[in-house]
Amino acid sequence: MSSAIAPHALGVLGAVPFVALTPDVSRRLPGLRAVFEPKTVARAQIAYGASVLSFLGGIHWGYAMNCQRASMTPAQMATRYAWGVAPSLLAWQAMAVTPTSEVAACGTLIGGLAMAAGVDTLYAIGGGYPKWMMPTRYALTATACASLVATAFRGVNDDGNDGSEA
């Protein structure tokens, strides 16, 4: 059994809220509409995106903690710790601007997710991750970003209609 099965499956499950909370998908899911009012679906997606972005930083914090006894220099550990916090700060900013601009919040998260993928790519080049991680990471990041783009686009073009009228 491949060691990548669980991360792949959990990654796919983790992408479901991004896709389900996009405007065109969420309005077609009666169960979701029972939980969220149409006007709060974008905020729910932004909150989920912020939590995922924070998680991506936590990977680096954990890596630095795990490598304290290994060959990382203090400067390398400090860099990993700093990057471990940076995504959480971007996520917080996205949440802070959500009440005034869901489009700006989506943009902040898209930028943060792309930046996190870039940082992970740099670390992966050095062999710091299992081989399966980056292809999975790219697919999940693309899914999350595309979902946030759909939400931002709807925010720019929103005419006040939640799309439920036929």
Answer yes or no: is pLDDT of 33 > 90.
no
Read off the pLDDT of residues 57-101 as tens digits, 9 standing for 90 and up. 999 888 888 876 677 888 888 998 999 999 999 999 999 987 778
- pLDDT of amino acid 136: 95
**The pLDDT of residue 95:** 92
Q: Determine whether 71 is exposed, middle or buried from the number of CB atoms within 10 Å of its CB (0-12, 13-18, 19+).
A: exposed
Residue 72: what pLDDT? 80
What is the pTM for the complete model shown? 0.88
DSSP 13-63: HHHHHHHHTSHHHHTT-HHHHHHS-HHHHHHHHHHHHHHHHHHHHHHHHHH
pLDDT digit string (tens) for 103-151?
Answer: 999 999 999 999 999 999 998 998 878 889 999 999 999 999 999 999 9
The full set of domain ranges for the chain reads 5-156
